[in-house]
Structure 1
């Protein structure tokens, strides 16, 4: 008998829901600080409650391997739709490499051809700067804004209306008074312009000692997941589905969205 797709979908959904419930139960066990033996016994006892129709599951995988199912998957792979160039390029968790890619996307002069569009999406998430729509500006990576070699800013965006610093962290933490130095430098260089420092990290949280600047909207914490959402917004608003540049934007968002 051929497996009913709707019935199998429900069955598979129930399976993973039960799995998730068991995982949560195991977290509760850990919180209760049970011994390993008690923890294992609890898991094995609850695992028996999960219903698995092995015949339907086997039938699903048999159908998955069929030529009818594999043909469109293979066609998509041949067109390069399954590849992520950023993962293949070995960016991994390297902050310097991610800084180079992000700088390229934000640069209005970049050969990606998106102009200032991606920066404008970012600015909409920054309360102090969302009113601006700069068409031409300078984007610099690993720069020393005031010549201080000890204070290298990962990305600087210098526009007529504002000055924006972006400090990137993936696995590392803030250096000694690092954000304070960037705040002081931004304030000095911006002069009468608006200025802002963005701290891009896994969770988007700021150290408590910078609460004053956070309240003043001069220092903003941004997570990689939120940055991915900003990139997806640009992709969704672009009508050219065949644009290689938009394809690269989406792939970068796919790559960074799990940095949390």
Structure 2
């Protein structure tokens, strides 16, 4: 007997909508300060109103396990579409490795063949710099912009129009006066150019004492999740069989949970 997928999908949608409704009702009940027994009783009273056809549910999962459904899934795996090379390569949460990969994507000279396009996608999200479209620039990782070995910038984008520093944090926090040193270096090196420091972290927040710089668009925070969205946006509408596009999307898949 053929499974009515559309009908079952609608039934599942109704189920979860009812679940949300019950959750909201439970919150309302708590606000009324009902006793535990009254609260529990109200839950089961509402729960009985939620219906799902167990026979159709069983047929759905049986159908999912059938050769008809599993064959294209297995074929996709054989073609390597389920693998994530960045996870397999062991990037894990190591900041230096992620710095190398991100710098490679942003480098117009990178052998990914995307030129400056990935950087331009990122610049759209950066205040002050979104107006620029540099064709040639220098992208460097783990560099010392003014030769000071104690102030290594994770990624530097040095263009004729602007200077961009990207400081990468995954599990670590800011070092002692680290951002302030980068601010001083950027001001000295950029001279008459626009400059910006991007603080790339899990939560996308700056330490409180630098928030005045954020208002002036000199230092901004960016989360890994936001960066993943930037990379996803870059891959939209592009050839899925292009290996570089595939790698960009995989990197976005990898970092979005940080």
TM, length-normalised to structure 1: 0.87
Q: Is residue 94 of structure 1 aligned with residue 91 of structure 2? A: no
Distance 1:146 1:125 in 2: 27
Which residue of structure 2 aligns with residue 227 of structure 1? Answer: 227
Distance 2:205 2:78 in 1: 41
Provide Cα deviations, 1:144-197, integer angstroms capped at 9, x if missing partner: 112222211111111111110001111222222211111111111111211110
Distance 2:147 2:27 in 1: 51
Identify if the C-alpha distance between structure 1 residues 23 and 179 changes in structure 2 by more than 3 Å, giving closer, same or farther: farther
* Cα drift, residue 13 of structure 1: 2.2
Which residue of structure 2 aligns with residue 206 of structure 1? Answer: 206
Q: How does 1:50-199 map to 2 (within 5 A)?
A: 50-199=50-199
Distance 1:82 1:50 in 2: 36
- 1:11 match: secondary structure: helix
Identify if the C-alpha distance between structure 1 residues 74 and 37 changes in structure 2 by more than 3 Å, giving closer, same or farther: farther
Identify if the C-alpha distance between structure 1 residues 197 and 28 changes in structure 2 by more than 3 Å, giving closer, same or farther: farther
Distance 1:162 1:225 in 2: 25
More displaced 10-residue stretch of structure 1: 109-118 or 139-148: 139-148
Identify if the C-alpha distance between structure 1 residues 17 and 258 changes in structure 2 by more than 3 Å, giving closer, same or farther: farther
More displaced 10-residue stretch of structure 1: 45-54 or 19-28: 19-28
Which residue of structure 2 aligns with residue 13 of structure 1? Answer: 13
Distance 1:138 1:40 in 2: 64
Which residue of structure 2 aligns with residue 253 of structure 1? Answer: 252
Which ranges in structure 2 are unaligned for 5 or more consecutive residues?
Answer: none
Identify if the C-alpha distance between structure 1 residues 78 and 41 changes in structure 2 by more than 3 Å, giving closer, same or farther: farther
Provide Cα deviations, 1:76-121, integer angstroms capped at 9, x if missing partner: 1111111111122222222111111101100111111111000011
* Cα drift, residue 41 of structure 1: 9.3
- 1:171 match: secondary structure: coil
Which ranges in structure 1 are unaligned for 5 or more consecutive residues?
Answer: none
* Cα drift, residue 42 of structure 1: 8.8
- 1:139 match: secondary structure: strand
